[in-house]
Structure 1
Amino acid sequence: MTSSLDLASLLCSRLCHDMLSPVGALNNGLELLADEKDPAMRQRCLDLLEQSARISANKLKFFRLAYGAAGGFGEQVPVDEAHELLTSLTEADERLTLEWAVSEPTLSKPAIKVLLNLAAMGLDSLVRGGTLAVGAERNGGQTEIAIRAGGPRVAFDANIGKALDGSLDADELSGRTAPAHLIRLIVERDGGAVQYHHSKEALVLGAMLPDPEGMIG
């Protein structure tokens, strides 16, 4: 059984791992800027610093909404916020394309967390580029979420799948699998479900969550 403290520690490890590259680029850029005298190269350094700062800020915004508990569970979140975050992450890599098919103006906080974390898994699987399709709709008192990552030789860690379906042993959890475990905890708590299917051409992830206003108790 994984404690809340253990899960928080693993999620912090994942956050630090993902932030290491853009923050490291900022540090390297500042060191180069301090030694560079050529105006053209200094401008190049400034451009790289701006890019790294933007990526760092976008990642922190993503983690705040995907992992954080600010505002509490059950509150409605504008889907435009999730759309903007995913757009910022995909725009950073010209090999990636985002297809957005969410017509709802808002979704519950748990649904947004699940959507963002599943979308992040989709992005991680597109190691050679591809298309991330994100869809969600409210239907019959529940929110249905569908993510499809399609591209050449789509990669997917089997342990992430085990964390999603609950078959991964607690002592095997890591920073890489912690977000999948978080999704599992959310859907189990709210009486929902999560599933996935992986092939060489695509990774399909789906979740169903009862709407908070339709839940009893």
Structure 2
Amino acid sequence: MLSPVGAMSNGLELLADEKDPEMRARCIELLEQSATISTNKLKFFRLAFGAAGGFGDAVPVEEVREVIDALAADNKRIEVNWAIEGSSLPKPAVKVMLNFAHIALDALIRGGTLDIGAEMRDGNAEIVVRASGDRIAFDDTIGKALEGRLAPGELSSRTAAAHMIALLAEEIGGGLQFKRDDNALVLGAVLPQPPGMIG
């Protein structure tokens, strides 16, 4: 959040001093871009870490897609493909999917493809997120966090989200897994469906 909020602050300072109409228009354009980026990140944080879609047990898939597509749009070299069955997903599945997508986007340092799939099967939400691209960047401590093997001193801003979703999966009786090589990172989860949603 620091980058877009800082850009807005700088833009407002420039706008206050600028008299040239063309430069003022450019400042306003930059302010609008920074506001959009900030809004998209706040939506991500709300769904990935907060109450996610109000008080119901499920979140509309369209809301999740909008958030991830907006995050990926910041990098024009990333293409996002979707394969989600159904119109909504349980909140725990949404939190895991969003955090998987964030980890995968961070891994695509040279651009590439982000494939996201999910379906409800046999009372479980099954999620797969695959990042494909040249030279995947993936910190081993994030992998340890996903596996629940993080040492107390290794928890940091880079590993906190992975640690949180590992705890979430464990709490509801599910599991996370990942596999990586130089050109791909695959993140998967099987999460039991909340009792209120089975039917």
Would the TM-score normalized by the shorter structure come out above 0.5? yes
Aligned length: 197
Asked if 1:60 is matched to 2:46, the reply is no
- Equivalent positions of 1:11-90 (< 5 A) are 19-69=1-51, 71=54, 75-90=57-72
Corresponding residue SS for 2:35 = helix
Partner of 2:161: 179
Partner of 1:138: 120
Question: Is the Cα contact below 8 Å between 2:5 and 2:34 reproduced in 1?
Answer: yes
Partner of 1:12: none
User: 1: CA distance between counterparts of 2:196 and 2:125?
Assistant: 11
Partner of 1:162: 144
Q: Partner amino acid for 1:103?
A: E
5+ unaligned residues in a row in structure 2: which ranges? none
Deviation beyond 2 Å, 4+ runs, structure 1:
69-72
Partner of 2:102: 120
User: 2: CA distance between counterparts of 1:124 and 1:33?
Assistant: 33
User: 1: CA distance between counterparts of 2:196 and 2:37?
Assistant: 38
Question: Is the Cα contact below 8 Å between 1:66 and 1:112 reproduced in 2?
Answer: yes
1:168 to partner: Cα distance? 1.1
User: 1: CA distance between counterparts of 2:182 and 2:16?
Assistant: 46
Asked if 1:103 is matched to 2:98, the reply is no
Question: Is the Cα contact below 8 Å between 1:141 and 1:214 reproduced in 2?
Answer: no
Identity of aligned residues (%): 59
Q: 1:209 aligns with which of 171, 179, 191?
A: 191
Question: Is the Cα contact below 8 Å between 2:128 and 2:187 reproduced in 1?
Answer: yes
User: 2: CA distance between counterparts of 1:150 and 1:42?
Assistant: 41
Question: Is the Cα contact below 8 Å between 1:117 and 1:179 reproduced in 2?
Answer: yes
1:35 to partner: Cα distance? 2.0
User: 1: CA distance between counterparts of 2:121 and 2:71?
Assistant: 28
User: 1: CA distance between counterparts of 2:51 and 2:32?
Assistant: 29
User: 1: CA distance between counterparts of 2:13 and 2:182?
Assistant: 42
Corresponding residue SS for 1:175 = coil
1:92 to partner: Cα distance? 2.1
CA RMSD of aligned residues (A): 1.7
User: 1: CA distance between counterparts of 2:196 and 2:34?
Assistant: 43
Corresponding residue SS for 2:86 = coil
